[in-house]
Structure 1
Amino acid sequence: MAVLMRVDELPVPEVLREFIARERGIRELYPPQEEAVVKGLFNGRNMVLSTTTATGKTLMAELAMVNTVLTRGAKAILTVPLRALAYEKASDLRVYEKMGIRIAVSTGEYDKEDAWLSDYDIVVTTYEKLDSLLRHRAGWLRNVGILVVDEVHYINDDKRGPIIESIIAKVKALGLPMQILALSATVGNAEEIARYLDAELVSSHWRPVPLKEGVYYDGVIYYADGATRAVKDLGNPVITLAIDTLLDGGQVLIFTNSRSNTVKLAQQMANYICNYGVKLIEPRELAALASEVLESSQSRILGEELARVIRCGVSFHHAGLDMGTRALVEGAFRDRVLRVVAATTTLAAGVNLPARRVIIHEYRRYEPGIGMVELPVMEYKQMAGRAGRPGLDPYGEAILVARHEDEVDYLMRNYINANVEAVTSKFFNERNLPTQLLSAIASGYAGTLDDVMRYVSSTLGYLQGGFQGNSVLSGILRRRIEDVVSSLVEMGFLERVGDNLRATELGNLVNNLYLDPYLASLYIRGLRSAEETTDLGYIHLVVQSRDVPRVRVRRGEFDDYVEELLNNWDQFLVKPPLTRDEIENGEYEDEELEDYLSTIKTAHMLLDWANEASEDELYKNYDVGPGDLRVYSDLMEWLVNAVYKLALALGMRKHAERLDILRWRLTYGVREELLELVINLEGVGRVRARALYNAGFRTVEDVANADPRVLSGIRGFGDRLARSVVEQARKLVSEGRVVKLSVKSEAKTGEARHGRGGSILDYL
């Protein structure tokens, strides 16, 4: 057996070696980690780590970042695809604060360069936020010594992929001397990605826990190596496989294709465990956990639904759960209090939550406008990679469920024995190229067509397209880029001055707001189409962005939303793809209106949110959970603010005044009279703000003049929070920093908490 490299042999400062051994209990490296060290990870070499889940990629990234800070006095950036993942990574990194390493996380506010980040050693961002910082050419970026791109296979994603390529192109254009470390468990063409990044490649299928992959059908598991195993058939494939694992002392993750299925499967599992006397759970611990969930859940209905299954050792997990509840579920599963979690596939991409057996309940999912589609092999491998807990499980199992006999061979051939798809660039796609070209020109990375060609030559799309050294293909690409530039000129975002290209004031604004130019053009046309509209009309305009998740219109609601469209035709600033006469005369197929009507329903949901509908009402009426509302809130903070600034820039004062108030209402989910309280006071959200207001404390000054003992008697306030809120209010009043918003947008001096406040002048 080969001798593994020890932590005390690492070429990093002794203080870091001792820290890892003491705080993490790690003494030896895994083989892929050792290979990374040998190939120059700590010598500044660019590197692609394409190794299976749980092989320590994240640890090596952490060591490389901290080493850069300690040995070079340089900064480090870790960029990830999801906001939730950014906060999770930042939380994990905070252990290094014991060494004096300063950790920051920044994920929103795309129109700012965040100069405050210069005070931190390691900055965790999303791809979008980092690209925004590079658009603003934040000065502190020149002090960055290492960039870690986590989940680099997202280059394959139509939306986020071009952003990763844009980040790399901007780093190269600026000549920033930073080491690039790319991480992924699932890259089918890792060699090509390494060539693109001029990087060493560490590619390995080694796992610390052996993985068995198989397909279950009719009481038998068919393994990839040809072996079979009979399992006691309990009439339900998922229950059969789960109970088999639980009886052997393992835990189970079930992946399925919809939220409703996660709940359904969790309920089926819970009923079996609790009703059939399977003694696999600790009732006392689970009762305590259920109580915690009920206490923390922002939706009573969702909390009760979850608590019922938790009492039986089971949970569901999806993006509709609020962050606090998700954290409770994940922590309880890691602590082995929960034995089974049924989750949507998003869990595989975003959370490190391994289990003895992973069950893939469905290998197809619904895509709006398309129907049922098969999951990519890449996603299957992400899910399968969660099988097996190092140090706890002797092996891990990933089992696909077949619905009929012929499907056994199909799943074995197309998933278990299939190669992961190659990551392919989406940079030059019709929808993405205009955004990327406007970004390059408006941000100062390109000023002529020749500059643009040099800029795009730093993308994976350029490498994969075979443009390098091919004059015919590069000529075709140049003509295509010229056409896109002409379109951006026609939209008013670029202008030509001789051979030079530059962004107009409007183009600079669109770039700084991080808007797709097509979307920005749609917003502008919408604002110009009417002098005024209702709040619903404004929200409907905003949700045209493809970033906003659509609330699906159920079949039984379809005619109601058609009727609403016709009755309120004039207030919608973006019209449907059919004429009013065609709709009134029924000259359409439902599919032609389905997506448009979903934007109306989504706008209604958001208006209800801004009118203080409870989380329970929103969940019941729209199937939108507290976790979803956080996503919508963040999106509205960005997008309504963007439309507001466009209105200001175009001199549309009436629109701007209405949008100024609406953006804050949609961010916080409150009526206008509560804005002063929620914007200024930390710890006062929509529910507590309404309680304060109803108790007569309607302004920050009212709170400042209050006796904390009186506030502590208001629902939602304890002694500690009451004292904190009064102290905050008194400080804000004494320093003249209270943010006030009125219907005429007369914001007073100062900044709101969380960086969300400020006057019109602050945003120009």
Structure 2
Amino acid sequence: LQEAQILKRVVRNRLEENDLKACRILFNRLSEIKGGHVDLHKLVKYGIGFHHAGLLPTERKLVENFYRKGALKVICCTTTLSAGINMPARVVILKDFKRFVTSGCNIQDFTGFFENGDGFSYFKPFSPNEVFQMLGRAGRPGLDSVGYGFVLVNDVQERMWVEDHFFQGFSLNEKLLPRYNELQSGLNNVNTLKEQVLLRIFEDPEISIPSLVKFFERTYFWFLVSKKRSSKWKIPIEQLLMIQQILPRNLLKLHANPRRLQQLKKGNLKTSISGITKSSIQGYVKTQYGVFTCSLDIDTGIQCSCGFQNGMSDKFASQEFAFEFCDHISVFLLRLLNEPNEKFQKFVNDLVPKTIKNQYILTYLIEKGLVKPTTDNKLKCSQFGKLVIRLYLYPTSGVLIRHKLERDNLSSYRSILKAAYEVVKSEGRARGDKMLEPILDWADEEPLETIMERHKVMAGDLYSIKDNLSRIVSFFGIVAQHISISGLDVKDRMNSIAELSETLRIRLHYGIREELFDLVLRLDNVGRVRARTLYDAGYHTSDAVRRENPYVLSRRTGLGVNLCKSIVKNQTRKKNIDT
């Protein structure tokens, strides 16, 4: 927004008459949108706009369309325009290659962070792939023979950093050659692997563990993992996929870079074991940068004071499956594996694999009741597993929903909404609880503008979380119905939750209270605002609206005559079809 405000007069002076007319049309169309961004409306008259996830989908689409037509000359945007959209430009300027800057005290894990040059702050850059995806928008097919991409820097040091980080040097004709990230597999995620294993078992009722292994041996994920490791560092795929319990040495092979491990062995870092219980081992690693405490615990997972953690959770996590341990955990594990005492080695071999129990794919699916092993060594999807697949849910989300239905007191709309919000957060679709109160206000029929002003949120963000919550709330109802058939002792409670969930889903979707259901669901061209107007004027049912004269309806409600005719006409036609 700031950049757009600065550039608006420069752009305005270069607009032709046709461009000005198109911008006025865009201004009028944006002004008609309820809850739209006021600053965007004002700016488009100057031939400039902005684009980010906080805008409403309609606003984003209008900005994109008028930019493609050439009416808008400049768009100041976030990375929302960088991927998957046909938005070519003549020039792309990346204002800053730093995703964000923060002080060192705010960072737990420094992986991917770089010193900012002032001695106390750090920045996280965009990845090379993201940068070239954005710069790749430069060059309009059929209009430009060349596209221009610029990365702005503050000084020579930043320029050198950009050239070193995003480029691999100069070609023979003195052009910078891009440095791309290696293509990764989508399976490199614990929860995605759980989903794919469950899906394979769902699709093949006769599948066995050997067939499951064969399938994954043909994936790009296995190719990448195998490619990175020499024959000495190979891991049996059954252990890699956590179908069988992984040995501690193979765990180190999976989560440590072989070359880096050799360097650490030569570094002679001082390690010590400080505590042992039945369920954990603690110790420390002394380096030139300080002393770091390491913990391997069955309940809390693998953790280090440097910020590394691989904790236990039934929730969705964005962590990679084939991630790398920090140096301190790697060295500490080496120390444990090299202890000569046989009893201690037996203890380590038993304990260490259990500290990453959330990664045991098949064990998780069986323990959570998603998969059943059969007597003939085959694997079978349970009814709950089939339901999770049909709902397009992550197994971890399905398990979390069932857990909340069985354990939490979900006896009100608010309690169900809060439980659903926890699931949305666990999937990484919401951060913190900032959007919970705005959503409650939305379901209570507060005006959109009031919600935005009161909670300082944007309409696009509100609509996005609303759609995600509506989806999860509906799943609460469906899973509750599934649980209700398991026994009479839970039937009434689950049926009650299912009814509450369906009512809440409608309230969330339309932003209305229950008394408006009939008007909104049965009348065309009637949303939350018009339905409330009709209800307050005495029209409490769709039948009452259908029987009314359009002119009387207009006079009593203040709605336009043509709109009232349309509402009554469409409702009468629908009534005749129903009859």
Q: Report the TM-score range of the alignment, normalised by the length of the smaller protein.
A: 0.5 to 0.7
Query: Paired residue for 1:495?
Result: 372
User: What per-residue deviation string (whole Å, max 9, x for no partner) do you get for residues 234-292 of structure 1?
Assistant: xxxxxxxxxxxxxxxxxxxxxxxxxxxxx121122225556xxx454658426623532
Distance 1:439 1:713 in 2: 58
Deviation at 1:646, TM superposition (A): 1.2
Query: Paired residue for 1:426?
Result: 186
Q: Provide closer, same or farther for how the CA distance between residues 408 and 448 of structure 1 changes in structure 2, counting only shifts above 3 A.
A: same
Is 1:513–2:276 an aligned residue pair? no
Equivalent of 2:7 in 265, 269, 279: 269
User: What per-residue deviation string (whole Å, max 9, x for no partner) do you get for residues 447-474 of structure 1?
Assistant: 3212322333443213323399x99532
Query: Paired residue for 1:677?
Result: 519
Task: Report if the CA contact (8 A) 1:448-1:500 is conserved.
Answer: yes
Deviation at 1:516, TM superposition (A): 1.5
Give the secondary structure class of the aligned counterpart of 1:350.
coil
Distance 1:428 1:391 in 2: 39
Deviation at 1:496, TM superposition (A): 1.7
Deviation at 1:501, TM superposition (A): 1.6
User: What per-residue deviation string (whole Å, max 9, x for no partner) do you get for residues 289-344 of structure 1?
Assistant: 353244332215x1x21122122221111122223322322222222222211011
Query: Paired residue for 1:298?
Result: 34
Is 1:656–2:498 an aligned residue pair? yes
Task: Report if the CA contact (8 A) 2:452-2:458 is conserved.
Answer: yes
Distance 1:536 1:721 in 2: 35
Distance 1:466 1:702 in 2: 69
Deviation at 1:514, TM superposition (A): 1.6
Query: Paired residue for 1:48?
Result: none
Task: Report if the CA contact (8 A) 2:413-2:504 is conserved.
Answer: yes
Q: Provide closer, same or farther for how the CA distance between residues 318 and 446 of structure 1 changes in structure 2, counting only shifts above 3 A.
A: farther
Deviation at 1:481, TM superposition (A): 6.0
Task: Report if the CA contact (8 A) 1:320-1:628 is conserved.
Answer: yes
Task: Report if the CA contact (8 A) 1:668-1:686 is conserved.
Answer: yes
Distance 1:670 1:465 in 2: 51
Q: Provide closer, same or farther for how the CA distance between residues 691 and 479 of structure 1 changes in structure 2, counting only shifts above 3 A.
A: same
Q: Please, what TM-score do these two structures have when normalized by structure 1?
A: 0.51
Deviation at 1:632, TM superposition (A): 2.8
Letter in 1 for 2:150: I
Distance 2:161 2:98 in 1: 13
Q: Provide closer, same or farther for how the CA distance between residues 475 and 335 of structure 1 changes in structure 2, counting only shifts above 3 A.
A: closer
Matches within 5 A, 1:191-270: 263-270=1-8
Distance 1:367 1:514 in 2: 37
What 5-or-longer segments of structure 1 have no aligned partner? 1-262, 552-597, 738-764
Give the secondary structure class of the aligned counterpart of 2:99.
strand
Letter in 2 for 1:706: E
What 5-or-longer segments of structure 2 have no aligned partner? 108-112, 114-122, 168-176, 246-359, 485-493
Is 1:695–2:537 an aligned residue pair? yes
Deviation at 1:709, TM superposition (A): 3.6
Equivalent of 2:76 in 337, 342, 345: 342
Letter in 1 for 2:391: L
Distance 1:667 1:430 in 2: 32
Distance 2:556 2:129 in 1: 51
User: What per-residue deviation string (whole Å, max 9, x for no partner) do you get for residues 474-503 of structure 1?
Assistant: 242365367422221211222122112212
Task: Report if the CA contact (8 A) 1:665-1:672 is conserved.
Answer: yes
Matches within 5 A, 1:550-699: 550=430, 598-599=432-433, 601-651=434-484, 652-699=494-541
Give the secondary structure class of the aligned counterpart of 2:190.
coil
Equivalent of 2:134 in 364, 383, 386: 383
Q: Provide closer, same or farther for how the CA distance between residues 472 and 350 of structure 1 changes in structure 2, counting only shifts above 3 A.
A: closer
Is 1:318–2:52 an aligned residue pair? yes
Equivalent of 1:480 in 243, 247, 251: 243
Query: Paired residue for 1:437?
Result: 197
User: What per-residue deviation string (whole Å, max 9, x for no partner) do you get for residues 135-157 of structure 1?
Assistant: xxxxxxxxxxxxxxxxxxxxxxx
Query: Paired residue for 1:171?
Result: none
Distance 1:273 1:393 in 2: 20
Query: Paired residue for 1:554?
Result: none
Distance 2:199 2:566 in 1: 43
Letter in 1 for 2:545: V
Distance 1:529 1:307 in 2: 48
Is 1:361–2:95 an aligned residue pair? yes
Distance 2:9 2:71 in 1: 17
Matches within 5 A, 1:38-49: none
Distance 2:552 2:508 in 1: 30
Equivalent of 2:216 in 456, 467, 482: 456
Q: Please, what TM-score do these two structures have when normalized by structure 2?
A: 0.66
Q: Provide closer, same or farther for how the CA distance between residues 640 and 726 of structure 1 changes in structure 2, counting only shifts above 3 A.
A: same
Task: Report if the CA contact (8 A) 1:697-1:703 is conserved.
Answer: yes
User: What per-residue deviation string (whole Å, max 9, x for no partner) do you get for residues 663-684 of structure 1?
Assistant: 1111122112222232333432
Distance 1:323 1:673 in 2: 28
Distance 2:143 2:204 in 1: 53
Deviation at 1:690, TM superposition (A): 2.0
Query: Paired residue for 1:528?
Result: 406
Query: Paired residue for 1:564?
Result: none
Task: Report if the CA contact (8 A) 2:524-2:571 is conserved.
Answer: no
User: What per-residue deviation string (whole Å, max 9, x for no partner) do you get for residues 94-115 of structure 1?
Assistant: xxxxxxxxxxxxxxxxxxxxxx
Matches within 5 A, 1:27-176: none
Give the secondary structure class of the aligned counterpart of 1:480.
coil
User: What per-residue deviation string (whole Å, max 9, x for no partner) do you get for residues 600-653 of structure 1?
Assistant: x32212111111222223333444433334433332332111111112222212
Matches within 5 A, 1:701-712: 701-711=543-553
Q: Provide closer, same or farther for how the CA distance between residues 360 and 714 of structure 1 changes in structure 2, counting only shifts above 3 A.
A: farther
Q: Provide closer, same or farther for how the CA distance between residues 446 and 362 of structure 1 changes in structure 2, counting only shifts above 3 A.
A: farther
Task: Report if the CA contact (8 A) 2:27-2:42 is conserved.
Answer: no
Is 1:397–2:148 an aligned residue pair? yes
Cα-Cα RMSD: 3.1
Distance 2:203 2:558 in 1: 46
User: What per-residue deviation string (whole Å, max 9, x for no partner) do you get for residues 368-414 of structure 1?
Assistant: 99695211111111111111223333422111110222111222332
Give the secondary structure class of the aligned counterpart of 1:432.
helix
Is 1:289–2:29 an aligned residue pair? no
Task: Report if the CA contact (8 A) 2:51-2:75 is conserved.
Answer: yes
Letter in 2 for 1:373: K
Query: Paired residue for 1:161?
Result: none
Task: Report if the CA contact (8 A) 1:674-1:690 is conserved.
Answer: yes
Distance 1:433 1:635 in 2: 23
Give the secondary structure class of the aligned counterpart of 2:72.
coil
Q: Provide closer, same or farther for how the CA distance between residues 447 and 279 of structure 1 changes in structure 2, counting only shifts above 3 A.
A: closer
Task: Report if the CA contact (8 A) 1:318-1:343 is conserved.
Answer: yes
Percent identity for Structure 1 against Structure 2: 28
Distance 1:524 1:706 in 2: 47
Deviation at 1:422, TM superposition (A): 1.7
Q: Provide closer, same or farther for how the CA distance between residues 400 and 535 of structure 1 changes in structure 2, counting only shifts above 3 A.
A: same
Q: Provide closer, same or farther for how the CA distance between residues 709 and 535 of structure 1 changes in structure 2, counting only shifts above 3 A.
A: same
Letter in 1 for 2:498: A
Deviation at 1:428, TM superposition (A): 4.3
Q: Provide closer, same or farther for how the CA distance between residues 317 and 428 of structure 1 changes in structure 2, counting only shifts above 3 A.
A: closer
